[in-house]
């Protein structure tokens, strides 16, 4: 066990004790992020508070802004989940008496006295999701909350952490009764392979993703044929069939690496059915990205009629992704796409939804199209602002949060995220200034190298 785990566990224990004391006679305000990790965190907390018969209210946010913090009631305990580590100064100024933060994003400000924070960034860079931390926190409150482990797994997978599960996360997997199977990293692994390949965008494969004819040609070249008009699902493929498909993909895309398309599949029981955790995670994410966070929460709570709603929203969301990726492909010769050595800037303006633009950046950074260390930055309009998302290919290279932070300090805006996956919100008036500053920063970095 790593040394930094001990202070984190002790912090969780102390925070849980303080939380129980602070919420004895008071209603709790839950504020959580709107992605899969945040929604899963909120669902875990809701279930834990219901078990305690506590009163609470829930706010699901795309992003945490100063105005929202200042409007929160001062006398009610507030617990922030999967956000707020970058807004500590605003929380201090807001005058809220009792604040709890369970988060895993970088901390760049001093922790105020009125804030009790659980964040592994204080003890090193331990890989655990916000939902994983929320789960451990709630389990400390009541060991019976271990029944919510599968929600923590969904959040962890939503934050793309399944590829480097550490000891803490391994414990959560065991408690969630998750089944592992080695296979193709396309989801859902329980659906026919042809449809999975066509609608899958992570990893994004040119000529296959979004192209039904390309998929059929690929499967034919791998000697995979339908039986009674239907293709096998991924978990039904034999090892030999899986190898053939991997070979066919790598022949078409020589830069694709085996580890990008083969790995662990996580299966868990949801709605009384064995499901691919990545698909469930993606459905939760889709609901929030298309402004339906209440459906995402209901889905996590396994409320029956939420299932069909989430599935329909997910189909619509995948269409947005395919359209967004097509925009990226078409903008090769366009002013919307600016590239240089070690960086790529895609300015979608209003051609891609602001809630989808970060996923597009993630898909591109996880594809085999760009060299490791390339900084991919995507931009989309949101009202009178611009949502910016930055990712590093292969999780290597410059600290993208630091790059964005240095620019925002000059032109204004808000920044959040991690070393290799970060974002910011800027004014549309600063569009050209931002692009020029980013290009300059990337080119200076290249000279330094």
**Lowest-pLDDT range, 12-26, 35-49, 178-192?**
178-192
Last residue of a domain, one of 177, 205, 236: 177
Q: How far apart are CA 191 and CA 193, in angstroms?
A: 6
| Whether residue 74 is found in the same domain as residue 202 | no
Q: How far is CA 407 from CA 19, 129, 209, 257, 433, in A?
A: 37, 27, 35, 34, 9
* Contact indicator for 248, 222 with CB cutoff of 8 Å: yes
Instruction: Identify the CA nearest to 359 among candidates 35, 33, 31.
Output: 35
CA distance 89 to 115: 11
32, 127, 141, 162, 192 from 152: Cα distances, Å? 14, 13, 16, 12, 27
- CATH number for the domain that contains residue 51: 3.90.1640.30
Q: Tell me how far the alpha carbon of residue 258 is from its chain's centroid.
A: 23
- DSSP per residue over 11-64, as a string? HHHHHHHHHHHHTSSSPEEEEEESSHHHHHHHHHHHHHHHHTT--EEEEEESS-
pLDDT beyond 90 at 321: no
296 shares its domain with 338: no
How many CB atoms are located within 10 Å of the residue 4 CB?
Answer: 14
Say if residue 360 is in the same domain as residue 276: no
Query: Are 11 and 137 spatial neighbours (Cβ–Cβ below 8 Å)?
Result: no
Please state the length of the chain: 449
Q: What is the mean pLDDT of residues 418-427?
A: 89
pLDDT of residue 139: 95
Residue 438 above 90 pLDDT?
A: yes
Give the whole-angstrom CA distance, residue 135 versus residue 41.
Answer: 7
- For the cut 70, the answer to whether the pLDDT of residue 77 exceeds it is yes
Contacts 24+ apart (CB under 8 A), 236-243: 237/183, 237/184, 237/193, 242/183, 242/184
pLDDT tens digits along 118-138: 998 887 666 788 999 999 999
Q: Model confidence over 161-173: pLDDT tens digits?
A: 555 454 556 578 7
- Whether residues 385 and 250 share a domain: the answer is no
Stronger pLDDT, 219 or 331, i.e. the higher one: 219
Least confident range of 43-47, 77-81, 234-238: 234-238
Residue 174 has pLDDT above 90, yes or no: no
pLDDT tens sequence across 248-279:
888 877 666 666 678 788 888 999 888 888 88
Q: What is the mean pLDDT of residues 21-29?
A: 94
**32 and 168 part of one domain:** yes
Q: What per-residue confidence (pLDDT) applies to 449?
A: 42
Return the CATH number at 401: 3.10.310.30
Read off the tokens for 26. 């008071």
Taking the C-alpha atoms of residue 86 and residue 65, their distance in angstroms, rounded to an integer, is: 10
What's the mean pLDDT in 300-314? 94
Q: What is the mean pLDDT of residues 35-53?
A: 96
Is residue 392 domain-shared with residue 275, that is, in the same domain?
no
- Continuous H helices in 116-238: 130-141, 149-158, 167-175, 193-199, 212-221
Banded model confidence at residue 442, pLDDT cuts 50, 70, 90: confident
- What is the CA 432 to chain-centroid distance, rounded? 28
User: How confident is residue 45, by pLDDT bands cut at 50, 70 and 90?
Assistant: very high
Same-domain pairing of 104 and 245: no
Q: DSSP label at 342? A: T
* Domain range for 338: 334-448
The predicted structure's pLDDT at residue 202: 67
pLDDT at res. 334: 57
Say what the pLDDT of residue 445 is: 57
pLDDT tens for each residue of 350-402: 999 898 999 899 888 877 778 888 999 999 999 999 999 999 988 788 899 99
Name which of 88-102, 201-215, 340-354 the model is least confident about. 201-215
What mean pLDDT comes out for the span 31-60?
Answer: 96
Residues 380 and 404 in one domain: yes
Rounded Cα distance, 203 and 256, in Å: 9
The pLDDT mean for the chain works out to: 87
Same structural domain, 171 and 195: no
Q: For 90-104, 359-373, 417-431, which range has the lowest pLDDT when averaged over its residues?
A: 359-373
Average pLDDT, integer, range 40-44? 97
**Long-range contact set of residues 14-23: C-beta below 8 Å, sequence gap at least 24:** 14/116, 15/100, 15/102, 15/116, 15/117, 15/118, 15/137, 16/137, 16/140, 16/141, 18/100, 18/116, 19/77, 19/79, 19/100, 19/116, 19/137, 19/141, 20/141, 22/77, 22/98, 22/100, 23/54, 23/77
Sheet holding 179-184, edge to edge: 179-184, 262-270, 273-276
Considering the domain architecture, whether residues 381 and 274 belong to the same structural domain is answered as: no
What is the per-residue pLDDT for 414? Answer: 85
The Cα 38–Cα 61 span in angstroms is 9
Non-local CB neighbours of 332 within 8 Å, separated by 6+ positions: none
pTM above 0.75, yes or no: yes
Please state, for a pLDDT cut of 70, what percent of the chain lies above it. Answer: 91
pLDDT reading at 187 higher than 60: yes
The count of domains in the chain is 3
Angle, CA 143 vertex, CA 137 and CA 147 arms, to 5°: 90
Cα end-to-end distance, the chain, whole Å:
36
Domain boundary among 299, 325, 351: 325
303 and 339 share a domain?
no
Give the per-residue pLDDT at 3.
40
Number of H helices, E strands in the chain: 17, 14
Q: Is the pLDDT assigned to residue 4 strictly greater than 80?
A: no
Contact 217, 224 (CB under 8 A): no
C-alpha 414/C-alpha 62 separation (Å) is 13
Beta bridge partners of 61: 33
Q: Provide the token pair at 321.
A: 């992704």
pLDDT at 179: 84
SS3 of 101, please?
strand
Question: Based on the domain organization, do 312 and 354 belong to the same domain?
Answer: no
Domain boundary among 325, 360, 394: 325
């Amino acid at each position: 066990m790593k040394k930094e785990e001990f202070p984190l566990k002790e912090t969780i224990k102390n925070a849980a004790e303080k939380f129980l004391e602070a919420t004895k006679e008071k209603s709790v305000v839950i504020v959580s992020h709107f992605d899969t990790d945040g929604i899963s965190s909120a669902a875990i907390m809701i279930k834990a508070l219901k078990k305690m018969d506590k009163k609470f209210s829930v706010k699901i946010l795309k992003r945490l802004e100063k105005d929202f913090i200042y409007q929160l009631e001062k006398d009610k305990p507030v617990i922030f989940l999967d956000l707020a580590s970058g807004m500590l100064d605003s929380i201090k100024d807001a005058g809220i008496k009792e604040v709890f933060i369970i988060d895993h994003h970088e901390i760049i400000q001093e922790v105020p006295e009125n804030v009790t924070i659980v964040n592994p960034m204080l003890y090193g860079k331990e890989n655990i999701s916000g939902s994983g931390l929320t789960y451990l926190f709630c389990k400390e409150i009541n060991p019976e909350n271990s029944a919510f482990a599968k929600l923590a797994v969904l959040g962890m997978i939503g934050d793309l952490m399944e590829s480097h599960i550490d000891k803490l996360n391994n414990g959560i997997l065991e408690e969630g009764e998750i089944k592992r199977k080695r296979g193709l990293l396309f989801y859902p692994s329980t659906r026919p392979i042809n449809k999975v390949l066509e609608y899958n965008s992570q990893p994004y494969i040119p000529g296959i993703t979004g192209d039904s004819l390309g998929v059929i040609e690929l499967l034919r070249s791998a000697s995979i044929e339908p039986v009674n008009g239907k293709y096998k699902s991924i978990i039904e493929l034999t090892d030999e069939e899986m190898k053939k498909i991997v070979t066919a993909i790598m022949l078409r895309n020589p830069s694709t690496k085996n580890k990008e398309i083969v790995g662990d599949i996580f299966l868990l029981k949801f709605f009384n059915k064995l499901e691919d955790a990545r698909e469930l995670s993606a459905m939760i994410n889709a609901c929030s990205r298309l402004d339906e966070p209440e459906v995402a929460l209901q889905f996590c709570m396994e409320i029956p009629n939420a299932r069909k709603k989430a599935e329909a929203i997910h189909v619509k969301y995948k269409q947005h992704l395919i359209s967004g990726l097509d925009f990226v492909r078409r903008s090769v010769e366009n002013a919307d796409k600016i590239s240089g050595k070690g960086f790529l800037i895609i300015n979608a303006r209003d051609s891609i939804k602001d809630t989808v633009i970060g996923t597009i950046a993630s898909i591109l950074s996880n594809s085999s199209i760009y060299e490791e260390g390339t900084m991919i930055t995507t931009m989309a309009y949101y009202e009178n602002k611009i949502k910016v998302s930055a990712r590093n290919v292969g999780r290597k290279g410059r600290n993208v949060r630091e790059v964005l932070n240095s620019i925002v300090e000059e032109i204004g805006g808000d920044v959040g995220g991690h070393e290799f996956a970060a974002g910011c919100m800027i004014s549309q008036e600063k569009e050209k200034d931002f692009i020029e500053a980013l290009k300059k920063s990337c080119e200076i970095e290249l000279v330094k190298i």
